[in-house]
Structure 1
Amino acid sequence: MVAVRVLVMGAGGGGGNSLVRSLRAGDPSLEVVGCHADRFILKQSIADRNHLIQPVHHRAFISSLRRVIEAERIDLLIPESDIHVAAVGRGRRRLPCRVFLPRNPVIAVCQDKLRLTRFLQTRGLPVPATYGLTRGDARDIRRGLRIAGTRPAWCRIRRGSGSAGAIPVRSVASARLWMGYWKEMRGVPARDFTLSEFLPGRDFACQSLWRAGGLVLIKTCERLAYFWGDNNPSGTSSIASLAKTCREPALVDLTIRAVRALDPRASGAFSLDFREDADGAPRITEVNVGRLLTGTPIFDHAGKHNMALTYVRLALEEPVEIRDEYDVADRYYMVRDLDTVPGVFAAEDLFTDIEDARR
């Protein structure tokens, strides 16, 4: 039997290496090839073989991917970031292998947080009250703060990941200073920012896999602590340093409604972020599509089904028989830190081989 060959983008980075580990844990026979546009990050890759490719914005990006795919006889290309998803989505017809991505219009909506929020709101789904800034002057910001309806309000950039450009603001002055910094130092105009309702409650991720409009597998976790949370102006991040599995059927129901609203024939990975409002009601804050989350180890190493491997099997149109789509593994924790391999532990194992010297 010929081994399946997959090409993982972002190889060598934390998310790329975690994905490689998950794939190998699910099926050791997989041949995993890695690629990256940064030779230094690529040097850290744990894939079987690695290729240096052109950056996403280079005109030869798709051509360089093609060369790797043809040389390695790749069966499936797996994007690792939003920027990869968008670029591969646009160039998918020129790639001689499978990809498992939503339609390009769906990708475009989901990668613009303002468009996504408006789309979901018009379909009756719970989202934070949000205003898209236009000029960034005092009048514009006052209107945004009024629509957001909370103090502080949440000021963030419409596109990107990792909570880039996100900060809570209480006044017109603080919002103007923040956006002014991003315009002066990063070239980000005020029209790329939103002001939205501040959500103080619990933070959840819900990762799901779909094929031809049918939900195949879904898992949920709660983020408890964040990478660089104490150092970020926002005090938070989309990247959890500590997370736990959880049973939240209401989030599953909202995810199903949202994905079917986006595309009744949805295929690929759809991962929703939720944050609870002051009353404990969950609101949808993001929909990441076409890729697995960087925190996917908690979904791959806990529960009955490895999501990364299921993604591959669905992409290759292999039969996947999962009786209960909502796969819950109670009381598992994922612990992550810089320069360490993410660990997934059952709650009862958290203090194994640890002596308590606090008393």
Structure 2
Amino acid sequence: MKILITGVGGPTPRSFAIALKKYSFYKRFELIGTDINPLAIGLYQNELFNKSYVVPPASHPEYWNVMQSILTENKIDIAIILPELEVMAWSKRKETQPLPCKALIPDFSMADLLVDKSKMTEILKDLDIVPPSVTFSRDTENLQEVFNVLKGNFWVRSTSGTSGLGSLKVEDEDSLRNWIQINPNVTQFIASKFLPGRNLACKMLYHNGELLRTACAERVNYIMAKVAPSGITGNTSFGRLLNEPKLVAEAKRAMDFLFQYTGAAQHGFFTVDFKEDENGKPYITEINVRHVAFTQCFAAGGANFASDTVRLLNDDVTFDRNYKMYEFEKDLIFLRDVDSLPILMKEAELLQKFS
């Protein structure tokens, strides 16, 4: 089976490729990678990708011509579109014409809403499922209003983008003004009540109107955390694979509301991120319209969403379409780094090494 994976300079597409090559027994895969950066490491990882191409950005007028040429030349069966901007481009195209090959792409109305964290937060605020938040621009003069509304420490970040872009815990106005100045490319910020509890993720796989697979995990530590003032880089180095049906229920409650609000079909792969307050109540901080970088860790633990996605797109008649929340062994954790396969072990075993 020939599969195109886009954005292979990033950790998420490479993680998806590893989940297929190392942990899936569905079929033999020939993977073709693309990226807009000729220095992207994935373009040269021959153990993962049989071929690779440098392509224009999704906003470039030649993007679709180049992609069509690659799809035709390689007789691609399925495309896995992972960078957020490309997901948006493919979902926009899906509104007016058929996609050039099979791909799991959400409706544009849903994708367009979710990439803007301030819009998503505003729509969900009456469900008591998002933290109290304030959106403001970098030109806002009276920043004290943000403190007046949130009444205490808060978390500030860009309203769009991934990997914790522009994120910081703010305690006073001087810190906020300085942070705005050293993030000149961020035009809109969202400030949300600071939540001190666990950082959780719920994966949700929808296909043709049905929620088919879910799984949960906790992000504990991050790769290269010291380089980010917030300590969050978007790449988890240590995490826990969890069995949390109540978290899945909250994620589904929010997604059901958003599907109804947008009129979008229940179709696509979504990662719902939560942060818990001091009492352990989870609040949604963002919803990604794609897989995230520790996809391979889920696959190593038995929840291979990459393989599930390919099997659904390939119309695999043996795929069980009954809903399933993946369950993991208790106490199961993962350790990962950018250039290594993940290591899974029991957390008790990890603690024993240092006792």
TM-score by length of 1: 0.88
| 1:133 equivalent in structure 2 | 136
Q: Is it true that 1:261 corresponds to 2:262 in the alignment?
A: no
* Code of the aligned partner of 1:216: L
Give deviations 1:230-255, integer Å, cap 9, x for gaps.
33111223321111101111110011
Distance in 1 of aligned mates of 2:133 and 2:104: 31
TM-score by length of 2: 0.89
Cα distance change on mapping 1:348 and 1:142 into 2, 3 Å:
closer
RMSD: 2.3
Q: Is it true that 1:308 corresponds to 2:306 in the alignment?
A: yes
Structure 1 gap segments, 5+ residues each: none
What does 1:169-318 correspond to in 2, within 5 Å? 169-183=170-184, 186=185, 188-189=186-187, 192-264=188-260, 265-289=265-289, 291-303=290-302, 305-318=303-316
Cα distance change on mapping 1:159 and 1:6 into 2, 3 Å:
same
| 1:50 equivalent in structure 2 | 52
Distance in 1 of aligned mates of 2:220 and 2:137: 34
| 1:7 equivalent in structure 2 | 4
Distance in 2 of aligned mates of 1:284 and 1:111: 14
For the Cα contact (< 8 Å) 1:272–1:286, is it kept in 2?
yes
What does 1:67-216 correspond to in 2, within 5 Å? 67-92=69-94, 93=97, 95-122=99-126, 124-134=127-137, 136-139=139-142, 141-151=143-153, 153-183=154-184, 186=185, 188-189=186-187, 192-216=188-212
Offset of residue 287 of structure 1: 0.5
For the Cα contact (< 8 Å) 2:106–2:268, is it kept in 1?
yes
* Code of the aligned partner of 2:162: S
* Code of the aligned partner of 1:19: F
SS of 1:39 mapped into structure 2: coil
Give deviations 1:18-59, integer Å, cap 9, x for gaps.
211111221341222111122221123521222221122322
After superposing on structure 2, the runs of 4+ consecutive aligned residues of structure 1 that deviate more than 4 Å are: 348-351
Offset of residue 316 of structure 1: 3.2
Cα distance change on mapping 1:342 and 1:263 into 2, 3 Å:
same
Query: How high is the sequence identity, in percent, across the aligned residues?
Result: 26
State how many pairs are aligned: 342
For the Cα contact (< 8 Å) 1:334–1:342, is it kept in 2?
no
Between 1:7-16 and 1:77-86, the stretch displaced more is: 7-16
Distance in 2 of aligned mates of 1:238 and 1:128: 20
For the Cα contact (< 8 Å) 2:155–2:167, is it kept in 1?
yes
Structure 2 gap segments, 5+ residues each: none
Give deviations 1:251-277, integer Å, cap 9, x for gaps.
100111111112153111011000001
Cα distance change on mapping 1:176 and 1:286 into 2, 3 Å:
same
For the Cα contact (< 8 Å) 1:22–1:300, is it kept in 2?
yes
Give deviations 1:166-212, integer Å, cap 9, x for gaps.
111112222122112223xx3x33xx111111111101111110123
